[in-house]
Amino acid sequence: MDRFVVISGCSSGGKSTLLAELGRRGYAVVEEPGRRIVKEELRGEGSALPWVDATAFLRRAVQMALADRASASALDGWVFFDRGLVDAAAGLQHLTGEPMLAPLGQSHRYHRLVFLTPPWPEIYVTDPERRHGLDAALAEYSRLLDAYPSLGYEVSILPKVAATERADFVLRALAE
């Protein structure tokens, strides 16, 4: 859908802060599937945590991203996704070798312009839901830099500025 905009990129690059700013401005925002899965798993048995069973975690992320897209179709105007289907499918394909990126990525489209947060080591932090280090985040970022253009998306790298300025940048780019 042309109203569905993905904000993706390097872990701890400021995606969630940017999405919070867009939400504050009245736009619909969909929280990152991975964070929601980790929160659920930490409250339960924890069998699909990324550091326990990455394949199970990514399969859940794909399913959640598909459900998010279906739910978001009822929303009006721009809908901003903190990561999404392409991120989960690219990760699962990398991990398992299953050719799922192209089929899923082509049949469930987002806006042609995808915004990526670049690596920002100065603000990188781990937390109970993000336990991987910067090296893993950089490898994932590199995969995403390849995955989105391979599906025909135009990638816009977000500047390393405050969330308000990033939100202005995104909204200006979408208005063009």
The residue ranges of every structural domain in the chain are: 4-175
What is the tens place of the pLDDT at every residue in 3-45? 999 999 877 788 989 999 999 999 999 999 988 988 888 888 8
Superfamily of domain 4-175: P-loop containing nucleotide triphosphate hydrolases (3.40.50.300)
Higher-pLDDT residue of 51, 92: 92
CB 101 within 8 A of CB 151: yes
What pTM was estimated for this model as a whole? 0.90
Look up residue 14 and give its two tokens.
């400021």
| pLDDT tens sequence across 69-119 | 999 999 999 999 999 899 999 999 999 998 888 888 888 999 999 999 987
pLDDT tier at 51 (50, 70, 90 boundaries)? confident
Cα-Cα-Cα-Cα dihedral of 66, 72, 74, 79, to 10°?
A: -150
**∠ CA 89-94-95, rounded to 5°:** 100
pLDDT per position as a tens digit, 161-175: 999 999 999 999 999
Is 35:110 a contact under the CB 8 Å cutoff?
Answer: no
Query: Per-residue confidence at 133, pLDDT binned at 50, 70, 90?
Result: low
pLDDT at 132: 57
Whether the predicted pLDDT of 63 surpasses 70: yes
